[in-house]
Amino acid sequence: MSVIECPGCGEDEDLSGDRQGDPGSETITVTCGACGLVWDRDLTPRCPTCRSDDVRTALRSIVDKSRGTQLSIQSMQVVHLCRVCDAEQLAVWNRSNTPLAPTELPFDPD
């Protein structure tokens, strides 16, 4: 997830948002508690590495241990894959059209 900061003063904690509109056409108006600046947040998905908006939506599985050491898919995460920075993962998604492998696996501290 990308960090949101005030474009006026750089504050990234004392921010509040107000969501309005129907899903798909919603807007989020953000207010900075430090300097009082109010702006509409850009909801366009972007690559966190190169900031390109040329991304494709895909699914990544989230797994957990369901029985002993058996891993089971518990949920899905929507990810946005950049055609340049995530080319390898995007190729896997395009070939299989099944959820991408998780980035982390459950860990037992034992």
pLDDT digits (tens), the chain, 110 positions = 457 899 999 999 999 999 998 877 889 999 999 999 999 998 889 998 999 999 999 999 988 887 777 788 889 999 999 999 999 999 999 999 889 988 877 766 65
The Cα 100–Cα 52 span in angstroms is 21
What does each C-alpha distance from 90 to 41, 52, 79, 86, 97 come to in angstroms? 27, 15, 11, 6, 10
**Whole-model pTM over 0.75:** no
Are the beta carbons of 81 and 58 closer than 8 angstroms?
yes
Dihedral sign of CA atoms 61, 63, 66, 67 in order: positive
What does each C-alpha distance from 43 to 4, 75, 94 come to in angstroms? 11, 23, 25
